[in-house]
Structure 1
Amino acid sequence: MEKHMKKIIFGLWLLLGVQAAMAQTPEVALFRLDQVRLSPSPFLNAQQVDMTYMKAMEVDRLLAPYMLEAGVDWAADRYPNWENTGLDGHIGGHYLSALAMMYASTGDAEMKRRMDYMVEQLAMAQAKNGNGYVGGIPGGMAMWEEIGQGEIDAGGFSLNQKWVPLYNIHKIYAGLRDAYLIGGNAQAKEVLLDLTDWFYELTKGLTDEQFQQMLVSEHGGLNEVFADVAAITGEAKYLELAKKMSHEWLLEPLEEQEDKLTGMHANTQIPKVIGFQRVAQEGDLAEWQEAADFFWHTVVENRTVAIGGNSVREHFHPEDDFSPMVSSNQGPETCNTYNMLRLSEQLFMSNPQAEYVDFFERGLYNHILSSQHPEKGGFVYFTPMRPEHYRVYSQPQQGFWCCVGSGLENHAKYGEFIYAHSEEELYINLFIPSELNWEEKGMVLTQTNNFPEEPQSVFTFEMDKARKMPVKLRYPSWVAEGALQVSVNGRPFEVNASPSSYITINRKWKDGDRLEVKLPMEMQWEQLPDGSDWGAFVYGPIVLAAMEGSDDMPGLFADDSRMGHVASGRMIPLSETPVLLAEGTRPADLAVPSSHPLQFELAAVDARENSFTLRPFYQVHDARYQIYWPVSKPDQVAARRKAIGAKDEVMLALERATVDQVATGEQQPESDHFFKGQHTLSGNTDGYFWRSTSDWFSYELKNPNGEGKKLRLVFPARVEGNPFEILINGALFQEVVLKDQEGVSQEVDYVLPEALQDEEKLVVEFRAKEGQSTERIYDVRLMK
């Protein structure tokens, strides 16, 4: 018990997890958020904008799903969007975490008041339920009873016909944990433990096979939370529950150092791996630690773009083909980077290497900081890498996507990874203006800078008494070998380290000591990971982008529609993309410094305009932009444009002819079209997502203005030949029997009768016959 109390005091909170480091590795922890205060910088501004957004949200509406499910008389209505269409309550959990983080980061009394109020009301709902359960899932009590009895029907984003209920309930577990460990709310601990005991009792009769069947459905980081509960209580049963809630389908290939991520839903997997790491920390499982580290390296090195994000349309695409990344309007998802940064922190605590911080810094400046509007607030779901496209921002009363939930947290916890410590050592990780109060050492450290505009930082020590202490200062990967300069009290300090490592300054620090570091930055040209002739300009750790106008950006601030998080405005054809002209010149040399800090003028561009100005991407808002640029020799521009535009023109023509479309087997497209079904399967084969069923499944397609004239379905070229039926709005539409065709897929168009063409909503249902599976369906599209 003493061991666990020490961990909690030493910094067990949220994303950091307990500092229980792996055997034979240093014990490193992060400081509590209330020990670090931000100073003026873009990060402090983002924190304040986030708090304003949080105060605009109505706590009672966020609580409504929990209270109404418990049968509590509650006046407030649920929020719209994802909060009243099946994922009810998930934002409430994120919001509780964000309140705890923001209160710890700022000391703001309103944040504490709201946090305490939420915990009180959740405790009331839990007491009304009478069994320890509290959740906002519509009809959740009956569903959980089915699960407890072993009746499990799991799909990738459904469980017993509910929209990812395990993922949903993970958010309130995490919120309660954070309210206790970060916000200091003791009642949250009691609600958390009662909720954990409820789940433990519910599932204790399930076999290991039934657990794994249940985990087919997206379940967030429940294994992480249960490992945290084990650390809080010291009870082994919760660690065993955490192990049972760890998905072997993902874990086993990672233990074998095998990358089988292509086609997987990215943000389903990353929280699982955070959980593997937490279980490794608590259970001293070296093989799970290695699996998590292998995953991190695989994603960071092979599947990540310049801003630190990954995935297209929420899924990992082939690591040797990043063409979807530059063609899709659904680029890296903010939630993915939120979780990859959390994983980086966890791995750092077990093995404090600078490479984890290098990646963290890249993602923090270029994806997380850029994902919130710096003046109006609002959070970004997808950040397209498609040239000349744009992002969409949420509004506090309308958009309730997953990235709103993680976004509320992102900008409330910027102080968490600037510094770290062991029992005796201080780690300086990030160059963000801030003040650290290390009470145990009688030390206040103030970091002052105008980074990245000025590539240096100064650290001033206030000590209650002189103390000998190793200070480990990060040598960033982006500073050249031998270029880093360090001085202590104006005297040069010999740097005997290399990029992506730490310099150790071991001396007796006195009150008033001054540590200064100069961080020369260079321009780098960073190609896409597949080695194709597309690249981004990166200056030091800062990704640069060009602003390219603000025409035709519908939904810039999204409404509450199910697809409102997607930037659906016109996609500029890739054949019109500005091309860099480079022959005998490094692309990096085409960016010429201007008179403004961190701004560069692009030379030698074949485009509609004569010049482009590059600036930090986190400063680009309310505009179309370009991060990635194709490169060509001057005499090959026409051929280059033709090559990058050929496939794109086909896609754009198809989009223009489409009224509504469902990418089957992909989570958000299916959820946004109100997927329902029983005994269905989904997967990815040869790069195609698909869904089939031995019973039935359906989608709801929109047909505004009666534009839809035919239904186009895409199937594999090689089929089973089993008969199945298509129903529309409950009536038989087609009986289907397919034959093999040449190629990799086959398209079939079915003309809608005139009566259906006038319907504004078409519920398309696929129904198996005689217990035989339907064909695998790749795509469902309503065409003009």
Structure 2
Amino acid sequence: MTTSTNTPTSSTPASTPALRSFHYANVDLLASHWRHQRDAVIDLYLTLDDGDILVSALRGTNVHIEAKGLPGWGGTFGQMLASFAKLYAVTGDFRLKAKAIRLFERWFELENQHEELLYLGTYDYEKMLGGLLDMEEIMGYSGEGRVREAISCLTDAAIARFDTSIPRDGVQDGRMKGQIEWYTLPENLYRAYRRYGDDKYRRYAEEWRYDYYWDKVAKREFASIGSRHAYSHVNALSSLAREYESTGNEQDLAVLRAAYDELLAHHTYVTGGYGPGENLFVERDGYLGFMLISPWDLGDEDPRFTNFSGAPAARSDAWGSCEVSCCTWAVFKLCDYMLRFTGEAKYAVWAERMLLNCAGGQPDIKPNGELLYYANYFADGGMKSTVDRRLQRDGQNFVWQCCAGTFPQDVAEYANMLYYTSDDALYVTQYLPSSVQWERDNGRVVRVENFSQWPLSSTIRLRVDGAGERFALRVRVPADGANVVRVNGRIVDVAVVPNTWLTLDRQWADGDLVEIDVPYRLRFVSVDDHRPDLVALCYGPVVLVSEDMTLLIGDRDRPQDWIVPVDGAPMTFRTLPGHAGRPDWVCRTFVPYYTYPENRWYFMYHRLYAPQESERDVVRRANI
């Protein structure tokens, strides 16, 4: 193996972060639905044979080992390294670190014997680069320089082989020459540059800058971007984030701000999920709702649209509403960057929706590698199923693919996304049951435990063991606001504005208790402005679904008048008679999507009609 002879130079961030994360350390998840998800992933992935995992790094080469490999089509080796590294960091389970080391060292040995293992495509190269950097930065394993050597050699091979002359408009067609998702390359190249100071990484990252996309966003010309691959175009924002981190160019930060605002406001479903049929920026008014309606319900509307490859297509139930594991991972990263860059609480909002209603709604991965690839929000129903009804062109099933590499990183991120710090403050961004230890500059350790039963309880409860330290505890105010804030049982007068920081600045003793009452309420959320009467029902941050298709009739602004809690059933609601179509005595029950079981039909989006018969007929003719 040969490596670059460039002399490393010091590389420090050109931008000054407003907040610091705990970098996968000193945060524990407590018992909860999300802790179960993470434990289930760890238990399963530790059973996977090392050789079978390694085979995914050998596909398409003439290198063979004595292992069957994992079925499916995904080249997930780099993502597996990243998953084991992050999961080790947040749990301390040494088995995960040992497995990552064995996998890397075996691959490194094979690569020294077979140079062709360096010849990856753009997609696999980017994932491999990320996994290796995670091993060194997050897991703390350098392999006496072998990890860095591998990163350098992989990059030299990429520089020699990738074609930078391809069109840079992001359309995933033949002009791309198979170099899919090239616009995600700069993220990890900038990471390598900042870590090693080798200018070749910065120069190569600059070669893949996505100016077509950034210029459109900067000018707010979102409608002219055109259909693009959804997950990777949110993930591409992480490339710009790493560039901003390295250069401090405020214009790039402005693009990130504009992209976040536009995507969250106009391109996401109620869950926070996005990318119906894996498409973003579809050139059609109201494309979010359009992609949920069956062709026979479209009336005179053309059922076709242009997809991310530039080809005409029609909605297919086999291509769902959100590529949930990958889409979640892209959002988690973006929100982390924006929180650290700006210190603004609003950048935790999208992450909360994905945490609760996307990744949080995932069933466990099956031992055979089946997992929920798509979440479905179709008006004619969806189902949580780990069976994917598609085949790759060579006949591979959709098991052990890209989502098997991103979902483990999603659940590792659960602990990393909860708390941030500045010099004089601790920030609580999400409300999962958890604890954090924060070492102050003077060496004293502050411990905060969130013992809330979020989201089932609308009260946020924190225990602070403050060691007599004075600091500001800043808690993100949920979108529903806060009614009452108490410290040690006494109401305190403090500014409360949704999606900003609630600040409690005081000297903290051990055992101080903070309680924040959040006024959860029922509300309807329209799929988009084009179809305002196609709605989903939420209670606070929780998206609710019904097991029956229904036609809802009632006042959209006061659902609490005709949708009422079910006694003895947490977070469960039922319509009163006369509000769910014919016959009048029919009622419909709503429960949280994130806990809904597998392999049962659910209905998330419903047609909502006004109580007045004349208005109802107008809406019915428009929608049916």
TM-score higher than 0.5: yes
Q: Residues 41 and 433 of structure 1 are in contact (CA less than 8 Å); yes or no, is this contact kept in structure 2? A: yes
Q: Does 1:425 align with 2:410?
A: no
User: Structure with the greater relative contact order (CA < 8 A, sep ≥ 6): 1 or 2?
Assistant: 2
Counterpart residue identity of residue 505, structure 1? L
Aligned twin of 2:286: 320
C-alpha contact 1:524 1:538 (8 A) present in aligned 2: yes
Task: Please state if 1:448 is matched with 2:411.
Answer: no
- Aligned residues of 1:70 and 1:129 also touching (Cα < 8 A): no
Residue aligning to 1:185: 141
Query: Residue 333 of structure 1 is aligned with which of 290, 305, 323?
Result: 323
SS in 1 for 2:277: coil
Counterpart of 1:606, as a letter, is G
Please report how far the alpha carbon of residue 285 of structure 1 lies from its aligned counterpart in structure 2 after TM superposition. 1.5
In the TM superposition, 1:45-194 aligns within 5 A as 45-67=36-58, 73-83=64-74, 89=75, 91-130=76-115, 134=117, 141=119, 165-187=121-143, 190-194=146-150
1:644 aligns with 2:620: no
Residue type of the alignment partner of 2:43: T
1:389 to 376, 382, 387: 382
Which string of whole-angstrom CA distances, capped at 9 and with x for unpartnered residues, describes residues 670-697 of structure 1?
Answer: xxxxxxxxxxxxxxxxxxxxxxxxxxxx
- What is the Cα deviation at residue 541 of structure 1? 0.8
Sequence identity of aligned pairs in percent? 20
Select between 607-616 and 108-117 the one with higher mean Cα deviation: 607-616
Whole-Å separation in 2 of the counterparts to 1:462 and 1:263: 51
In 1, Cα distance between the equivalents of 2:80 and 2:556?
A: 53
State how 1:605-644 maps to structure 2 within 5 Å: 605-606=580-581, 610-622=586-598, 623-633=600-610, 635=613, 640-641=619-620, 643-644=622-623
Asked whether the 8 Å contact 2:522–2:559 carries over to 1, the reply is no
**Equivalent in 235, 253, 272 of residue 308 of structure 1:** 272
Contact 1:302 1:319 in 2 (8 A): no
Q: Which has the higher strand share?
A: 1
Quote the residue 1:752 is aligned against: none
CA–CA separation in structure 2 for the residues paired with 1:442 and 1:49: 31
Alignment partners' CA distance in 2, 1:588 and 1:240 = 57
Q: 1:278 aligns with which of 228, 234, 242?
A: 242
**1:276 and 1:223, CA in 2 relative to 1: closer, same or farther beyond 3 A?**
same
State the shift of 1:404 in Å. 2.4
Cα gap change, 1:249/1:190 in structure 2, threshold over 3 Å: closer, same or farther? farther
Counterparts of 1:270 and 1:189, CA distance in 2: 33
Q: Deviation per CA, 1:630-674, whole angstroms, max 9, x where unpaired?
A: 1123536666555434xxxxxxxxxxxxxxxxxxxxxxxxxxxxx
CA contact (8 A) 2:183 2:239 kept: no
- What is the match of residue 511 of structure 1? 510
Contact 1:525 1:588 in 2 (8 A): no
Contact 2:55 2:65 in 1 (8 A): yes
> 1:187 & 1:446 partners in 2: Cα distance?
36
Extract unaligned runs of 5+ from structure 1.
8-19, 84-88, 136-140, 145-164, 549-576, 646-784
> TM-score normalized by structure 2?
0.83
Comparing 191-200 with 517-526, greater Cα deviation is found at 191-200
* Matching residue of 1:653: none
Distance 1:486 1:583 in 2: 32
**CA deviation digits over 1:278-334, x for unaligned, max 9?**
111111121122112211111110011100011211002335342213445321111
Letter of the aligned partner of 2:553 in structure 1? L
1:599 aligns with 572
> Which of structures 1 and 2 has the bigger CA Rg?
1
Q: How much has 1:444 moved relative to structure 2? A: 1.8
Deviation at 1:71, TM superposition (A): 5.5
Distance 1:96-1:73 versus aligned 2 partners, 3 A rule = same
Superposed, which structure 2 residues align to 1:240-639 within 5 Å?
240-259=203-222, 260-316=224-280, 317=282, 318=284, 320-321=286-287, 322-327=289-294, 328=315, 329=317, 330-334=320-324, 335-373=326-364, 379-387=371-379, 388-393=381-386, 399-440=399-440, 441-463=444-466, 465-479=467-481, 483-532=482-531, 533-548=533-548, 577-582=549-554, 586-587=558-559, 589-595=561-567, 596-603=569-576, 604-606=579-581, 610-622=586-598, 623-633=600-610, 635=613
Aligned-residue RMSD, C-alpha = 2.9
TM-aligned CA distance change 1:584 to 1:177, over 3 Å? closer
Compared with structure 1, are the counterparts of its residues 69 and 303 closer, same or farther at alpha carbon in structure 2 (3 Å cutoff)? closer
Alpha-carbon deviation of 1:2?
Answer: 11
Q: Shift in Å at residue 394 of structure 1?
A: 5.8
In the alignment, what sits opposite 1:670? none
Q: Secondary structure of 1:411's match?
A: helix
| Residues 1:22 and 2:15 are matched in the alignment | yes
C-alpha separation between the residues in 2 aligned to 1:632 and 1:592?
18
* Deviation of 1:56 (Å): 3.8
For 1:176, the aligned partner's letter is L
CA distances 1:580-607 after superposition (whole Å, capped 9, x unpaired): 1125863454321111221101230116
Task: Flag the 1:202–1:383 CA change in 2: closer, same or farther, 3 A.
Answer: closer
Paired residue secondary structure (1:513): strand
Deviation larger for 429-438 or 118-127: 118-127
Q: 1:413-456: per-residue Cα shift (whole Å, max 9, x none)? A: 21111111123321011111111122344122111121222111
**Where do residues 733-752 of structure 1 align in structure 2 (5 Å cutoff)?**
none
- Contact 1:223–1:275 (Cα < 8 Å) also in 2: yes
Query: One-letter code of the match for 2:465?
Result: E
- Tell me how far apart the structure 2 counterparts of residues 410 and 106 of structure 1 sit (CA, whole Å): 14
Taking structure 1 as the reference length, what is the TM-score of the superposition? 0.67
Cα deviation, residue 3, structure 1: 7.8
Which sections of structure 2, spanning at least 5 residues, go unmatched?
1-7, 169-174, 295-314, 389-396
Partner residue of 1:749?
Answer: none
What is the aligned counterpart of 2:30 among 20, 39, 45?
39
The size of the alignment, in residue pairs, is 561
CA distance in 1, matches of 2:285, 2:431: 32
Q: Does the 8 Å CA contact 1:166/1:220 hold for their aligned counterparts?
A: no
> Match for residue 310 of structure 2?
none
| C-alpha contact 2:272 2:350 (8 A) present in aligned 1 | yes
Q: Give the conservation status (yes or no) of the 8 Å contact 2:216–2:225.
A: no
- Classify 1:205/1:405 alpha carbon distance in 2 versus 1 (closer, same or farther; 3 Å): closer
CA-to-aligned-CA distance 1:202-236 (integer Å, 9 cap, x gap): 52798964695869732362210011111111333
Amino acid at match of 1:369: G
Q: Relative to 1, partners in 2 of residues 1:485 and 1:365: Cα closer, same or farther, differing over 3 Å?
A: same
CA distance in 1, matches of 2:582, 2:275: 28
* Residues 289, 624 of structure 1: alpha-carbon distance in 2 compared, 3 angstrom cutoff: same
CA distance in 1, matches of 2:176, 2:156: 14
Partner of 1:563 in structure 2? none
Deviation digits for residues 537-592 of structure 1, max 9, x if unmatched? 111111111124xxxxxxxxxxxxxxxxxxxxxxxxxxxx5211125863454321
